[in-house]
């Protein structure tokens, strides 16, 4: 079955055809490590995790590269704002290098908590300064650059189809860029490739270059590192939709101007996580929540957020609220209980069941439908081992840690503090039911009731509660 992905370049779903058959090279724009990632950022990284897992499930050899932006990202994504790393350093009274190291570790921890597969390559902008300088040299040699008092700029008027990714009239892109009011730029959409260190100000992060002491423009690192770490295999490039008009547009312009080759063929963009009132979650809005304060500190399983993001297609906006998260956690726990009730024999999922699942994930990563296929199977007449086999197979893509459901279920049973005797009887009854020994199961039910527990068999397996004699 083929894989279809929605390409922002063509504004349609396209059949995925990699450069080298059977392989997939992916570049995902990574975090600026001046603060914790927020749930909005993480929603975008989760959709990329679904992409990587879907490709792996389909048998592709995946190589995913993710950059760590530890220099050069100015607030507002433009060329005139404050430096985000220096800002983090001033806020916390630590060096920019310490800030970068600390928040890089924090980011990797969040990735783990949300069960995201680590990229094959994590690369830091500061480890790739010569490569970035080299790219500017190539652009200079080809006549795409000019120098102003504060840096080296890319002349967007010289690049044909500059609006190819955004599909916006050039005038509109220019209007968007005009807020910056940089009188030395030839065109409002021009962007810096290299910024000079301000005169009389010692920056913490700065490097010598043929044009003067300074630091790279933010967009440059992604071009230089895509070319370096993916080589020819530049298939898919991802980010959030806010990257379309400026960051990715500029990445394409400078890369293709320098190399004369197509930069990436497929451009995938995830929609925003919004907060009450449809406002985008953003650090600049100060309305953001992190894994720590929205999940861990509230004792909500971080995978509940993963589950919530699976329930909304990645190109649709998603609303954050604590209530939504708690509902997602209930849904996830219900799924765990249903899995736990299947016993531990793992069988083969029938081809028919798998086909429907694969059809969903290969239709532009339609995870809401993929989840519904799983629920349909759990409710079906399929034998329990086949159900369990299907669930564990699908979990290679869903990443909900379903294999842990059995031990997790036992843990919650312990929390209810059921007496050992009742737990043994429940286990024996579950076994009897699996073996379709209904007579034994009924006898065990009587034993359990006699000990003062009410037993029901629901879709989530056996449920017990203490009989309340006062009623």
**Interface with ligand AMP by CB under 6 A: which residues?**
29, 31-32, 40-41, 43-44, 239-240, 242-243, 270, 272-273, 280-282
Choose among 370, 269, 359: nearest CA to 310: 370
Closest distance of CB 166 from ligand AMP, Å = 14
Nearer to Zn ion, 266 or 357 (CB): 266
240 interacts with, out of Zn ion, ligand AMP, none, CB within 5 to 8 A per kind: ligand AMP
Up-side HSE of residue 41: CA atoms within 13 Å toward CB? 22
Smallest distance, Å, CB 241 to ligand AMP?
7
Place of tokens 């954050």: 320
**Residue 222 binding: pick among ligand AMP, Zn ion, none (C-beta 5-8 Å cut-off by kind):** Zn ion
Residue 146 C-beta: closest distance to Zn ion, Å? 23
Choose from ligand AMP, Zn ion, none: what does 25 bind? Cβ within 5-8 Å by kind: none
Query: In the bound complex, what is the minimum distance in angstroms from residue 268's beta carbon to ligand AMP?
Result: 11
Map residue 392 onto helix, strand or coil.
helix
Q: Which is nearer to Zn ion, 41 or 362 (CB)?
A: 41
* Residue 31 interacting partner from ligand AMP, Zn ion, none (CB closer than 5 to 8 Å by kind): ligand AMP
How many helices (H) and strands (E) the chain has is answered by: 16, 16
The window from 25-33, 57-65, 177-185, 423-431 that contacts Zn ion (CB under 5 A) reads 25-33
Q: Does 400 bind Zn ion (CB under 5 A)?
A: no
Residue 14 or 242 with smaller CB distance to Zn ion:
242
CA distances 37 to 31, 237, 290, 397, Å, are 7, 20, 6, 23
SS3 89: helix
How far is CA 452 from each of CA 91, 207, 414, 448, rounded to the nearest angstrom? 59, 75, 17, 7
Q: How far is the CB of 32 from Zn ion (least distance, A)?
A: 10
> Which residue of 5, 26, 29, 361 would you call a contact of Zn ion, by CB under 5 A?
29
Q: What is the 3-state secondary structure (H, E, C) of 233-249?
A: CCCEEEEEHHHHHHHHH
What's the distance, CA 92 to chain centroid?
27
Q: What CA–CA distance (Å, rounded) separates 334 from 186?
A: 59
Q: What's the CA gap between 219 and 194, in Å, rounded? A: 10
For CA atoms 186, 190, 196, 197, the dihedral sign is positive
Nearest CB to Zn ion, comparing residues 250 and 338: 250
165 scored as a contact of Zn ion (CB under 5 A):
no
- Closest to Zn ion by CB, 68 vs 402, is 68
216 CB neighbour count, 10 Å cutoff: 28
Q: Which is nearer to ligand AMP, 28 or 333 (CB)?
A: 28
Give the integer Cα–Cα distance in Å for 388 and 392: 6
Q: How far is the CB of 125 from Zn ion (least distance, A)?
A: 10
Question: Nearest approach, Cβ of 309 to Zn ion (angstroms)?
Answer: 21
Q: Which residues pair with 267 in a beta bridge?
A: 237
> What is the C-alpha to C-alpha distance for residues 294 and 101, in angstroms, rounded to an integer?
23
Residue found by looking up tokens 């879709």 in the block: 459
Q: Please, what is the minimum distance in Å from the beta carbon of residue 43 to ligand AMP? A: 5
Cβ closest to ligand AMP, residue 43 vs residue 203: 43
Answer for which of 222, 225, 258, 353 binds Zn ion (CB under 5 A) is: 222
Which residues in this chain contact Zn ion in the complex, by CB under 5 A?
A: 29, 222
């Amino acid at each position: 079955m083929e894989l279809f992905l929605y390409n922002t370049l063509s504004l349609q779903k396209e059949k995925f055809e990699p450069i080298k058959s059977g392989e997939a090279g992916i570049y995902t724009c990574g975090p600026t490590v001046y603060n914790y990632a927020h749930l909005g950022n993480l929603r975008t990284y989760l959709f990329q995790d679904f992409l990587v897992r879907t490709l792996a499930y389909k048998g592709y050899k995946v190589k995913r590269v993710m950059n760590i932006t530890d220099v050069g990202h100015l607030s507002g994504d433009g060329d005139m704002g404050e430096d985000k790393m220096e800002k983090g350093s001033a806020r916390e009274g630590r060096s920019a290098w310490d800030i970068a190291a600390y928040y890089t570790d924090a980011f990797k921890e969040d990735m783990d908590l949300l069960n995201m597969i680590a990229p094959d390559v994590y690369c830091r902008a500061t480890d790739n300064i010569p490569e970035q300088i080299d790219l500017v040299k190539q652009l200079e040699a080809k006549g795409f650059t000019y120098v102003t008092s504060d840096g080296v700029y890319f002349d967007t008027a010289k690049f044909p189809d500059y609006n190819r990714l955004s599909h916006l009239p050039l005038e509109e892109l220019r209007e968007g860029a005009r807020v910056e009011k940089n009188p030395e730029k030839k065109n409002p959409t021009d962007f810096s490739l290299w910024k000079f260190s301000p005169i009389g100000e010692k920056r913490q992060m700065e490097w010598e270059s043929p044009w003067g002491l300074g630091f790279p423009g933010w967009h440059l690192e992604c071009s230089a590192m895509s070319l370096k770490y993916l080589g020819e295999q530049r298939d898919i490039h991802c980010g959030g939709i806010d990257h379309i008009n400026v960051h990715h547009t500029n990445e394409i312009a400078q890369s293709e101007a320098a190399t004369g080759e197509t930069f990436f063929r497929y451009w995938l963009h995830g929609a925003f996580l919004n907060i009450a009132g449809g406002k985008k979650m953003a650090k600049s809005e100060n309305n953001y929540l992190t894994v720590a304060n929205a999940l861990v500190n509230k004792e909500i399983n971080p995978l509940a957020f993963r589950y919530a993001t699976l329930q909304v297609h990645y190109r649709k906006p998603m609303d954050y609220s604590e209530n939504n998260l708690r509902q997602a956690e209930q849904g996830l726990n219900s799924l765990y209980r249903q899995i736990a009730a299947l016993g531990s024999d793992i069988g083969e999922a029938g081809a028919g069941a798998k086909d429907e699942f694969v059809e969903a994930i290969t239709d532009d990563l339609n995870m809401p439908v993929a989840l519904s296929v799983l629920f349909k199977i759990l409710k079906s007449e399929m034998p329990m081992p086949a159900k369990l086999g299907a669930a564990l197979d699908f979990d290679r893509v869903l990443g909900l840690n379903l294999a842990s459901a059995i031990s997790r279920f036992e843990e919650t049973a312990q929390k209810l503090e059921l007496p050992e005797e009742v737990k043994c009887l429940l286990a024996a009854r579950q076994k009897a039911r699996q073996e379709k020994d209904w007579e034994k199961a009924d006898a065990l039910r009587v034993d359990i009731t006699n000990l003062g527990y009410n037993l029901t068999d629901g879709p989530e397996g056996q449920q017990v509660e203490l009989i309340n004699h006062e009623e």
